[in-house]
Amino acid sequence: MKRRQILAAAGVGLAATALVGCNKEAEPGAGKSEAGASAEKFSWKMVTSWPKNFPGVGVGAERFARLVNEMSAGRLTVKVYAAGELVPALEVFDAVSRGTAEMGHGAPYYWKGKVPAAQFFCALPFGPNAQEMNAWLHRGGGMELWEEVYKPFGVLPMACGATGVQTAGWFNKEIKSVDDFRGLKMRTPGLGGEVLTRMGGTVVNMPAGEIFTALQTGAIDATEWIGPYNDLALGLHKAAKYYYTPGWQEPNVTFELDVNLKAWETLPDDLKAIVRAAARDVNGDMLDDYNAKNMEALEQMREQGVEVRRLPDEVLARLKEVAAEAVDAAAAADPVASKVWEQQRAYMQRLYEYAELNEKDIYNIRG
């Protein structure tokens, strides 16, 4: 049986006591069915940081909404708003925090200015891959820390999507040495952006819909977005000449589902369970999607003449040194981030030791 069918069967079969909710509708004669489930209906809005139905992230947000609707038999419906339809792409967290929307879907490092510790739940330069980040979040205490960090803002976070290893990005100039980063204007968020700044570059933040034009017109010299799947959809191969790997700045990005805590507290327990189950489904399904589609998209771009280049060893070595400095500095600048990093670093070291012992040789020998 497919995962979706299993989740749907499990979700529809759940039952719990009804609670009073916000933005809810009650049908005539609403109450409890013979099975004891609440007949109350909740209609929620979910704002996102993505263009409508954008491959990977946008599709994942739509999948989440569809799963919740199906698993709850229509008792909780979620309407998805693309970036800019209700709020700008980089204001999703604020919208959920203040209750403009009950839910949001975005990337934690987009709101590092408001919540400095958020970026540690998203992506670390030369850091964990998707499997390692998920292990920390769901088995290593990461989710408990994440909830603690967001609680003062009235937001409940859940992991809801992952990219896997990204690419280093698109450049309109060759990268031959560390000096080539000086003066480079690049769209790259989070801690990767902190590294670029320390390398002498300039970070330019912008949502997906603005990247192509900025790169084509020279407003930026380079950009990283996610990888071939999304890069092809944005047409970045038509706006820049050089495509570099590996994605040192983001060995993975974890996306988040944000839920307004006051709204969350109005849901009965079975609908809460459905939301959590749908988020976990999307968290895994999106990674599957990227693993499959990145390969296909890169093949298409190569057919169109795109040449993939590897960053020089000396450049990667220097980036790694600077990344360690940037991550430590970001943690030291905020007591909450410091607490998160201390726990995360200790757990990640154990994961890295296992990967070094058992997984690294397999990749090398296979290659």
Residue 152 maps to a domain:
yes
Residue 1 maps to a domain:
no
pLDDT band (50, 70, 90) for residue 39:
confident
Q: Which two tokens stand for residue 228?
A: 């071939």
297: domain CATH number is 3.40.190.170
**Separation of first and last alpha carbons in the chain:** 34
Is 225 one of the annotated binding-site residues? yes
Range of the domain at 121: 42-165+251-306
Taking alpha carbons only, the member of 284, 227, 259 closest to residue 101 is 259
Residue 325 maps to a domain:
no
Residue 366 maps to a domain:
no
Asked if residue 21 has pLDDT above 80, the reply is no
Reported as a single tens digit per residue, the pLDDT across 166-214 is: 999 999 999 999 999 999 999 999 999 999 999 999 999 999 999 999 9
Distances in whole angstroms, Cα of residue 325 to Cα of each of 328, 330, 339: 5, 9, 17
Q: How much is the average pLDDT of 303-323? A: 97
The full DSSP string for 235-290 is TGGGT-SEEEE--TT-S--EEEEEEEHHHHHHS-HHHHHHHHHHHHHHHHHHHHHH
Q: What is the pTM of this model?
A: 0.89
Is 264 one of the annotated binding-site residues? no
Reported as a single tens digit per residue, the pLDDT across 77-132 is: 999 999 999 999 999 999 999 999 999 999 999 999 999 999 999 999 999 999 99
Alpha carbons 223 and 236: distance in angstroms, whole number: 9
The per-residue pLDDT for 142 is 98
pLDDT band (50, 70, 90) for residue 37:
low
Alpha carbons 37 and 74: distance in angstroms, whole number: 13
Lowest mean pLDDT among 127-136, 317-326, 356-365: 356-365
Q: How much is the average pLDDT of 140-153? A: 98
Residue 279 maps to a domain:
yes
Is 299 one of the annotated binding-site residues? no
Residue 220 maps to a domain:
no
Residue 9 maps to a domain:
no
Residue 120 maps to a domain:
yes
- The domain total for the chain is 1
